[in-house]
Amino acid sequence: MGKYRIAVDIGASSGRLMAGRLANGKLELREVYRFENQLVQRGGHFCWDVAALFAEVKQGLHACRDLGIQPESIGIDTWAVDFVLLGENDELLTEAVAYRDPRTDGMMEEVFEIISKERLYLETGIQFQKFNTIYQLYALKKSHPDILARAKTFLMIPDYLNYLLTGKKANEYTNATSTQLVNAFTKKWDLDLLEKLGIPAEMFGEIHAPKTVLGSLKQELAEELGFDLQVILPATHDTGSAVIAVPELQDTIYISSGTWSLIGVENHFPICVTKALDYNFTNEGGLDYRYRFLKNIMGLWMIQEVRRNYDSVYSFAQLVELAKQAEFDSIVNVDDARFLKPDHMVTAIQQYCQETNQPLPHTPGEVAKCVFDSLVVSYQKAIGEIEEIFEQKFPKVNVIGGGCQNELLNQLLADATGKEVVAGPVEATAIGNLVAQLMAAGEIAGLEEARTLIQHSFAVKTFTGTRGSRV
Ligand code: LFR
């Protein structure tokens, strides 16, 4: 029986600590602690409450102790692109402003005046999203140049939480690539780009690859908890961890399904061809310098917001049931920028239908059906783009992450594409996080072994277009 290790996986709507270990040739997983996450308004911006998140991580470690679990190591992953800046005395100079905050409106266009879109893509391989760190930093430079001038350290959210755990400041590679400031080929901060944009290069530290052992807990923290452990860098970008856990990538397109739907394939090198730029595919850095060639689709955020608009009186499962019963066919472009952070999602969907001369959804079931059907249309389009770029058909789609439990969506996707849709593992992100720690500790030899282990440890469910679902 291996020792327990803890994966802390924090998403836009919730976070959890999962304990995992090797047992009888399988990876055993156990949820230890779960907590809510949400945007908070501070100083006129949507922000993340990082102090509260850290308190929850600590709370989760206390819960481990209460359960008699003494973990050997811990790894943290979260969403990407967001960051904090520290000053001379390591004090926080900024809030952790959230990527859905409108501060970056118009910034992408301004950056393109300094460096062309094509050049930026050739150097970084990263998709154009108005919330990328590069545009957030540019927005900060315009609104608060004084803060940027005083900044000594740039840390992304998991880097910052790791700093609070260990006192060590380190930038992790997979998340760093999401900034659009890392050169896709040298895998280092693009100093030339930083200089052109007037962003101080000194605040960026050396980039550390996943599987780096960062070190022990700060002494006072170890004393408070009653135990010490090693902090290890997993792929700290949640999508990076999730894709590690795709059991079999041969001829497979994956969809990491959560707040976002990340659809793509794994690669050994970045693809920065014109078509990839035109279709806005990204080449995010992964474990062992694999690349995730994927695109962001608006994802279950839309249904999370719809649910919130109905005062959360319906569970997600109920919304799925209502969608099944609804007879409604209007389709919205889920990737339209209006859906990124609308004041009211249901109204935004209705307005889109109105503008495009389609019937308006009125009931919760109609709205939910519209969201699911529209997501599938966007998935289908992205699959077509991937197949066009690769000049190859992919017979299988593997949906991983919490969203793969949405059987309606899986079935709709199988029906629409005629492909085999494999759902699972649900806990892909935590699994990917854990296997990186196990690799760092030498308990798993490498990625191939990890994927075989994952295949043996977690059941998946298959959906086909004609025959319906079978286990
Ligand atoms: C998913 C994710 C995506 C990233 C988005 C914003 O949770 O990490 O990969 O594009 O959030 O950070």
Note the pLDDT of residue 466.
Answer: 63
Which of 77, 82, 101, 238 is catalytic? The answer is 238
- Which atom belonging to ligand 1 lies closest to the Cα atom of 11? 7
* % of the chain surpassing 90 pLDDT: 98
Note the pLDDT of residue 1.
Answer: 82
Residue range 322-352, pLDDT digits in tens: 999 999 999 999 999 999 999 999 999 999 9
For this structure, is 311 an active site residue? no
CB of 262 closer than 6 A to ligand 1?
yes
Q: What is the pLDDT averaged over residues 201-207?
A: 98
CB of 98 closer than 6 A to ligand 1?
no
Nearest residue to 244 (alpha-carbon basis) of 28, 400, 124: 400
- Which atom belonging to ligand 1 lies closest to the Cα atom of 129? 10
Q: Whose CA is nearest to atom 12 of ligand 1?
A: 80
Nearest residue to 256 (alpha-carbon basis) of 232, 275, 288, 284: 284
- Which atom belonging to ligand 1 lies closest to the Cα atom of 237? 8
393: CA distance to ligand 1 center in Å? 26
CB of 296 closer than 6 A to ligand 1?
yes
CB of 22 closer than 6 A to ligand 1?
no
Residue 23 has pLDDT above 80, yes or no: yes
Coil, strand or helix at 364 = helix
Note the pLDDT of residue 428.
Answer: 98
422: CA distance to ligand 1 center in Å? 22
C-alpha to C-alpha distance for 61 and 57, rounded to whole angstroms: 6
Note the pLDDT of residue 371.
Answer: 98
Evaluate whether 425 touches 247 at the Cβ level (below 8 Å): yes
Test site for ligand 1: of 136, 238, 293, 300, most ligand atoms within 8 A of the Cβ: 238
Q: What are the φ/ψ torsions at residue 317 (nearest 5 degrees)?
A: -60, -40
Evaluate whether 239 touches 293 at the Cβ level (below 8 Å): no
23: CA distance to ligand 1 center in Å? 31
Note the pLDDT of residue 133.
Answer: 99
- Which atom belonging to ligand 1 lies closest to the Cα atom of 82? 12
Residue range 275-318, pLDDT digits in tens: 999 999 999 999 999 999 999 999 999 999 999 999 999 999 99
C-alpha to C-alpha distance for 6 and 307, rounded to whole angstroms: 31
Burial of 213 (0-12, 13-18, 19+ CB in 10 A): middle
Any residues with CB less than 8 A from the CB of 318 and at least 6 apart, and which? none
Residue 262 has pLDDT above 70, yes or no: yes
Q: Is the peptide bond before 425 cis (omega within 30 degrees of 0)?
A: yes
**DSSP state string for 40-83:** EEETTEEEE-HHHHHHHHHHHHHHHHHTT---SEEEEEE-SS-E
DSSP 103: G
Note the pLDDT of residue 469.
Answer: 44
CB of 243 closer than 6 A to ligand 1?
no
Q: In whole numbers, what is the pLDDT of the chain averaged over residues?
A: 97
CB of 81 closer than 6 A to ligand 1?
yes
Test site for ligand 1: of 48, 79, 243, most ligand atoms within 8 A of the Cβ: 79
Residue 73 has pLDDT above 70, yes or no: yes
Residue range 145-182, pLDDT digits in tens: 999 999 999 999 999 999 999 999 999 999 999 999 99
List residues forming the annotated binding site. Answer: 12-16, 80, 237-239, 259, 296, 304, 402
188: CA distance to ligand 1 center in Å? 21
- Which atom belonging to ligand 1 lies closest to the Cα atom of 12? 7
CB of 77 closer than 6 A to ligand 1?
no
Say how far residue 17 (Cα) sits from the centre of its chain: 16
Note the pLDDT of residue 149.
Answer: 97
> For 447, left (φ over 0), alpha (ψ -120 to 50), or beta?
alpha
Task: Sort strands 461-464 and 420-423 into parallel, antiparallel or unpaired.
Answer: antiparallel
Residue 92 has pLDDT above 80, yes or no: yes
Residue 2 has pLDDT above 90, yes or no: no
| pTM, 2 dp | 0.97
The first and second tokens of residue 315, run together, are 């569970």
CB of 239 closer than 6 A to ligand 1?
yes
Residue 468 has pLDDT above 70, yes or no: no
Q: What is the pLDDT averaged over residues 40-61?
A: 98
Any residues with CB less than 8 A from the CB of 292 and at least 6 apart, and which? 239, 240, 243, 262, 264, 266, 267, 282, 283, 284, 285, 286
Note the pLDDT of residue 61.
Answer: 98
